[in-house]
């Protein structure tokens, strides 16, 4: 049963019996006015406390006050989260994951110690790795200086949806950046292929002119001329494949594709960017292919693009260099 509140109705001062002192009457009226003011203030404080308690208990954020490792007060959301078991991983920017905690209280105590040492607000993210869809919390810990000195306020918010949106946004940005890089690579390759084709055409014309003048070429020289012609023809085919890759991709058509040719083309196009890097940290391609592979239905251009993308990703995953192994085979 709640205590009975004093009445707020104004009280009439008693009449001065037998012509009592006016000073005593004024004093009584002053005390009565102060009493009424205190009652109104108490009523306001009680209303504020009731509203604050309701807001605290119905809040979607978990709130607790810790003192020397013990939970002094906590709301319903905190108690609900405390019943969920971890492990909880602390996310460290640029360093992957940090320490692991079995329960919310454990990580709160650790963060409280760090907040007291740092002397300011500390905001950290924790990820629950148990389950198919991990839960992400943003925990804010701050040392209370006044009037609850020596205590730490802990506020935990469930930001799982926000973290998921941020990850999707980061993936989308990475995809756009990758496409922009590949588009730039295609434009560069188109320009290089055009210049190389002009150079090869000039060399082929010179070779044809020398081959027509057979009297000026010895048998040994003719052998070298034939080898040089084959080299120029092979270089022309490579430039042609580079031009095919650099062309804007339109709607692909389904055709019978020889996988072996697609793999070789992709390796030839990507080899220069993998084995000859400006930073000196080049990687090595180790390619082992069978004599034949079955044909599949698809787009040779799309498959070539996918394989080149995989090779470039493998190179980027080894900034210090290494060996990229390419294997192919059929089953069944």
For residue 326, pLDDT beyond 90:
yes
Kind of pairing between the strands at 284-288 and 323-327: parallel
DSSP state of 115: H
- Cβ(307)–Cβ(263) below 8 Å: yes
- Note the pLDDT tens digit of each residue in 293-322: 989 998 887 788 788 878 888 888 888 889
pLDDT at 328: 92
Q: Residue 131 in 3-state DSSP?
A: coil
Higher pLDDT, 29 or 94: 29
- Cβ(11)–Cβ(32) below 8 Å: yes
Higher pLDDT, 332 or 317: 317
For residue 332, pLDDT beyond 60:
yes
- Note the pLDDT tens digit of each residue in 15-53: 554 555 788 888 888 888 888 888 888 888 887 777 767
Query: Largest alpha-carbon pair distance within the chain?
Result: 155
pLDDT at 54: 74
pLDDT at 217: 64
Q: What are the structural domain ranges in the chain?
A: 24-58, 62-158, 168-232, 249-332
pLDDT at 1: 41
**CATH T-level fold of 62-158:** Beta-Lactamase (3.30.450)
Higher pLDDT, 220 or 23: 23
Higher pLDDT, 206 or 47: 47
Instruction: Pull the structure tokens for residue 324.
Output: 């990229």
Q: Percentage of residues in the chain with pLDDT exceeding 70?
A: 71
For residue 223, pLDDT beyond 70:
no
- Average model confidence (pLDDT) across the chain: 76
Residue 214's pLDDT band (boundaries 50, 70, 90)? low
Residue 287's pLDDT band (boundaries 50, 70, 90)? very high
Q: Do domains 62-158 and 249-332 have the same CATH topology?
A: no
pLDDT at 301: 75
* CATH assignment, 249-332: 3.30.565.10
- Note the pLDDT tens digit of each residue in 273-285: 787 665 667 788 9
pLDDT at 2: 46
The average pLDDT across 170-175 equals 87
- Out of 40-54, 64-78, 228-242, 303-317, least confident range: 228-242
Give the integer Cα–Cα distance in Å for 250 and 261. Answer: 21
* Cβ partners under 8 Å of residue 154, min gap 6: 62, 63, 64, 65, 66, 108, 111, 112, 139, 140, 141
- Note the pLDDT tens digit of each residue in 195-204: 677 777 777 7
- The torsion angle over the Cα atoms of residues 103, 108, 109 and 113, rounded to 10 degrees, is 150
pLDDT at 213: 65
Give 27: exposed, middle or buried? Use CB within 10 Å, 0-12, 13-18, 19+.
exposed
The average pLDDT across 131-135 equals 72
For residue 209, pLDDT beyond 80:
no
Residue 250's pLDDT band (boundaries 50, 70, 90)? low
Residue 128 falls in which region: left (phi positive, over 0), alpha (psi -120 to 50) or beta: beta
């Amino acid at each position: 049963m709640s205590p009975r509140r004093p009445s707020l109705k104004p009280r009439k001062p008693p009449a001065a019996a037998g012509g009592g002192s006016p000073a005593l009457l004024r004093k009584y009226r002053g005390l009565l006015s102060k009493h009424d003011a205190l009652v109104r203030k108490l009523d306001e404080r009680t209303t504020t406390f009731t509203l604050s308690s309701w807001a605290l208990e119905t809040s979607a954020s978990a709130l607790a006050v810790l003192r020397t490792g013990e939970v002094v007060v906590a709301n319903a959301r905190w108690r609900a989260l405390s019943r969920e078991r971890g492990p909880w991983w602390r996310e460290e920017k640029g360093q992957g994951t940090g320490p692991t905690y079995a329960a919310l209280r454990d990580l709160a105590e650790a963060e409280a110690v760090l907040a007291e040492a740092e002397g300011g607000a500390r905001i950290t993210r924790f990820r629950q790795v148990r389950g198919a869809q991990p839960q992400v919390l943003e925990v804010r810990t701050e040392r209370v200086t006044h009037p609850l000195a020596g205590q730490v306020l802990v506020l935990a918010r469930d930001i799982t949806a926000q973290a998921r949106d941020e990850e999707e946004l980061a993936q989308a940005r990475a995809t756009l950046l990758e496409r922009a890089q590949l588009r730039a690579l295609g434009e560069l390759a188109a320009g290089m292929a055009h210049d190389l084709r002009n150079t090869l055409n000039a060399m082929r014309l010179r070779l044809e002119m020398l081959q027509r003048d057979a009297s000026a070429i010895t048998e040994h020289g003719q052998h070298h001329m034939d080898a040089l012609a084959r080299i120029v023809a092979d270089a022309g085919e490579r430039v042609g494949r580079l031009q095919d890759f650099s062309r804007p991709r339109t709607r692909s058509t389904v055709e019978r594709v020889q996988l072996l040719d697609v793999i070789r083309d992709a390796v030839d196009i990507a080899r220069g960017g993998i084995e000859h890097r400006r930073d000196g940290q080049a990687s090595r391609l180790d390619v082992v292919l069978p004599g034949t592979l079955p044909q599949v239905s698809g787009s040779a251009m799309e498959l070539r693009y996918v394989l080149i993308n995989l090779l470039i990703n493998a190179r980027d995953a080894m900034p210090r260099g290494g060996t990229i192994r390419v294997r192919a085979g059929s089953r069944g």
